[in-house]
Chain A
C-alpha cells in the first residue's frame, strides 16, 4: 500500500467540507443527491483506478517529465494550460471559501485581505519546495490533524442529539432521478488521485489493490459523514438553512470536560492547516506544470511573475466573490471539473497504453 497516494486522496476527502460539497448535496437531498452519491462512488473509484494505473507505468515521473520530449509543443501548452486552470481554480475556491469562513466565524473584524496575506505567505513557501518535501509536509499536517478529526467524527456519531430518523427520511429519496450537480460534487471526494500528475514523482512501486479498497472504504464513510451527519443534527429540512452545514454541525457539538468547550474552534483550527496543505498541493501541481511548460529552467523573474499572477488572482477572488456567488460558481465548476477529469483520464489512459505497447 502506498501511503502517499492515500494521503492525496484522503486530503481531498477531508477538505470537501470547505469547497461546498455538503452544501450542494444537502440542497439536492430530495432531488437525487442520494442516488447521485451512490453513482459517484463507482465513477470516482473507476477514475482513480484508470488514472493511477496509467501513470504508474512511469515510475517517479510527473507529467512534465513524461512529456518532456513531446514534439507537439502547442498541444502540450494547451494540455498543461487547461490542467493548470482547473487545479489553480480548485485551490482558489478552497482558499476564498475558507477565508470567508474565517472572517465569519473566527475573526469578524479582520479584513479578508489581511488573512489572505498570511495564507499566501505560507502557501508560497510550501509550493516552491521540491515535490518530495511537499509530501513530507502533507504527511506531518495529516499526522497532527487526523486524530483530531477522528475524535470529532466520533463525537458526532456518539452524540445523543443525532437524529437517525432524519437521515432515514432523506434515505427514502434514494430512487429520485440523480442530478448531475450532486454527482459532480460527490466525485470531488475521490478526485485527489489526479494530483498524481505531479506527485507521481514521489511514488515508486506499483499501486496495489489494497489502495483502492482503502479509498473505497474511506470514500463511502466520508460521503456518508459529509452528507448525513448535518442532516442528522439539523433535521432533513433544517440542514438546508445553513450556508456551511458542517461548520454549524461542529458548533452543535459540545465537549463537556474539555477547556475548549465548543468543537467549532477545534474544527476550524484543524481546517486551517488542512486548507493550507490542500491549497498548497493543488497550487504546487499548477506551479510545477507552469514550470514544466517552459523549455528552460525558470528564472527568478519568471518565478516572481508566476507567484504574482497567483496572488493577483486570489486577491481578485477574495474581493469579488462573496459567499453566495462563490457557492454558485463552485456548483458549475464542479460539473466542468468532472467532465474535464473524465476527458483527461480517458486521453491519458489511451495515450499511455499506446505508448507502452
Chain B
C-alpha cells in the first residue's frame, strides 16, 4: 500500500490538475501488488505504457522484482519535486505511484514526426528532405548527417508560458566558446510568452526589440544545419517547429544557398556574383531611376537619355510618384500571391503583373521603362536565397528611394553607403555582420 508521503503527493498533484477530460488516473491491482498511474491520454502513447508497464506489471509476480524492473527501465526516472513532475506530466509523461516510490515514465506521443519536403529553400539537386516538427526526429536527422563525438547537445526552455523545449547543438571542436556563452546568455534572457518558432527571436536579438536585418538564419534543411555545424555555428532546434535556427549569422550565410556546394566551382562563383548583383540592383535601381530622370538626365549618353525621357512624355507627374505607385503595386502583388490559395495564386500574378502593367503603361500612368525597372527589381529581390533577408531588401529599397528623391544622384550613392554603414555596425553575437571569415576558437584575442 502507498505510504502517507506518496499519498499526499498524489492528492496534491490531482488537486493541481483540475480534472480535465483527457486525464486518466488508474489503479492497477494484481495479487501481490498495487500501482497507480496518472497521465494525460491525449499526449501519451498508451500503447507504450501498456507494453512497458502494464504488461510486466501482471507478468512479474514478485513486488520486489517489479520494483527492480521499474528502477532499471531507462524510460523511468525518479520523482524529484512537484513542480517538475507537473511540467513533465503536461508534456506526456505518466506518473506512477508504486509502493513508497513515485516514478515518471516517459511515454510521450510523437505526433508530427513526418519528415517534410523542403518548400522554402528549394534546390535543384542535393537532398530534398527537410525537418519534421518533432524534436527527437530532428535531432536524429542531424545526427545521421553529422556522426561526430564532438557534437554537443544541450537543452533548455524558452517562453514564459509555453516553456518550449529548445536544444542547443554545437561542435565542440569548431565553436567559439565566447559566442556560445553569448548565445546561452541571450536564450536565458529571452522574454516571450508563447515561443513557437525560431523566427520569433529576430526581434529579441536587438536591444531595441526592433530589427530590420535577420541576425540569425532560420532553415528547414538538415544538410544546411550539418554544414553549418562543421563551420562552428551553433544550432537551435525548437520543439514543434520544422525550422532550425543557425547562430551567429552573417551576411555571407544569408546569401548562400545549399546549391553552392552541389555545383561546380565556377558555377558557384557565378551564382554568387549574380546574387550580390541582384542585391545591389534591387536596392539601388528605383532610387537611381528617380535620380537619373529627375535630377541628372545628362548622366547617360544622349540616345539613352532621350529614350527614357521620350517614354516619360505622357506621364503627368514626377518620377518619384511613378516609382512609388508601381513599387506599391508590386508589393501588393507579392503579398497577395503569398496569401492566396494555391489554385488562385497564378491568376493573381497574371492579372496583376501582365495585364495591369500593360494597361498602366498604355493609359499613360507609368512609363514603359518604369515597368521594366519594377519587374527587374522584383525579380532581383527573389534571387536572394534566404527569404527573411529578401524581405529586408524589400524594405530597404524604399529608404534608398526616399533619399534619392530628396538628394538626387548624391542620395543614391550616400543612401547605399548609409545602408552599408548600418550593416557594418550590426553584429550577430559578436560576429560582424559583413565578415567573410567565421571566428574560430582561440582567435578572439583581437576583439
Contact = CB atoms under 8 A, between A and B. Distances in A.
Contacts of B408: 106-107, 110
B416 to A, nearest CB: 8
Interface stretch (A113-121, A181-189, A343-351): A113-121
Interface stretch (B171-179, B216-224, B383-391, B417-425): B417-425
A118 B421 contact: no
Contact of B304 (A102, A129, A259, A272): A259
B414 A129 contact: no
B66 interface: no
Nearest to A138: B424
B413 A260 contact: no
Contact of B420 (A60, A119, A137, A269): A137
A106 B410 contact: yes
Contacts of B295: 106-107
Contact of A265 (B299, B406, B422): B299
Interface string A240-281: 000000000000000000111110010011001100100000
B421 A129 contact: yes
A268 to B, nearest CB: 8
A123 to B, nearest CB: 10
B296 A106 contact: yes
B432 interface: yes
B418 A121 contact: yes
B409 A118 contact: no
Interface in A143-175: none
Contacts of A259: 300-301, 304
A110 B405 CA distance: 12
Contacts of B301: 258-261
A125 to B, nearest CB: 5
A136 interface: yes
A352 B271 CA distance: 52
A272 B410 contact: yes
Contact of B413 (A126, A133, A269): A269
A122 B425 contact: no
Nearest to B420: A140
A204 interface: yes
Interface string B284-303: 00000000000110111110
A276 B417 contact: yes
B291 to A, nearest CB: 10
Contact of B424 (A118, A137, A269, A276): A137
Given A259-B301, A259-B304, A269 B414 contact: no
Per DSSP, chain A at the interface is: helix
Interface string B434-447: 10000000000010
B414 A118 contact: yes
A125 B406 CA distance: 19
Interface string A82-111: 000000000000000000001000110010
Nearest to A270: B413
B382 interface: no
Nearest to B416: A273
B407 interface: yes
B232 interface: no
Interface residues of A, number: 31
A140 B300 CA distance: 26
A38 interface: no
A107 B410 contact: yes
Nearest to A134: B424
A307 interface: no
Nearest to A121: B418
Contact of A272 (B403, B406, B414): B414
B344 to A, nearest CB: 41
Contacts of A260: 299-301
B409 A106 contact: yes
Given A125-B418, A273-B417, A265 B410 contact: no
A115 B410 contact: yes
Given A140-B420, A260-B299, A273 B413 contact: yes
A221 B425 CA distance: 34
Nearest to A117: B407
Nearest to A126: B421
Contact of B414 (A60, A119, A268): A119
A39 interface: no
A105 to B, nearest CB: 10
Given A125-B421, A261-B300, A276-B417, A140 B411 contact: no
Contact of A136 (B403, B407, B424): B424
Contacts of B418: 121-122, 125
A133 B414 contact: no
B434 A262 contact: no
A141 interface: yes
A272 to B, nearest CB: 4
A177 to B, nearest CB: 42
A125 B425 contact: yes
B225 to A, nearest CB: 28
Contacts of A118: 403, 406-407, 410-411, 414
Given A136-B432, A260-B300, A141 B417 contact: yes
Contacts of B299: 260, 262, 265
B407 A110 contact: yes
A106 to B, nearest CB: 6
A141 B416 CA distance: 11
Given A129-B421, A137-B424, A276 B414 contact: yes
Contact of B446 (A110, A126, A129, A204): A204
A268 B296 CA distance: 13
Nearest to B299: A265
A137 B304 contact: no
Interface in A261-320: 261-262, 265, 268-269, 272-273, 276
30 contacts: A60-B446, A106-B295, A106-B296, A107-B295, A107-B407, A107-B410, A115-B407, A118-B403, A118-B406, A118-B414, A125-B418, A125-B422, A125-B425, A126-B421, A129-B424, A129-B425, A136-B432, A137-B421, A204-B446, A259-B304, A260-B301, A261-B301, A261-B302, A262-B298, A262-B299, A265-B296, A265-B409, A272-B414, A273-B417, A276-B417
**Nearest 9 A-B pairs (CB), nearest first?**
A261-B301, A272-B413, A265-B299, A137-B424, A133-B424, A125-B421, A122-B418, A126-B421, A118-B407
Interface of A: 60, 102, 106-107, 110, 114-115, 118-119, 121-122, 125-126, 129, 133, 136-137, 140-141, 204, 258-262, 265, 268-269, 272-273, 276
Given A119-B414, A272-B414, 19 more contacts: A106-B295, A107-B295, A107-B296, A107-B409, A114-B407, A115-B407, A125-B418, A125-B425, A133-B425, A133-B432, A136-B432, A140-B420, A140-B434, A260-B300, A262-B298, A265-B409, A272-B410, A272-B413, A273-B417
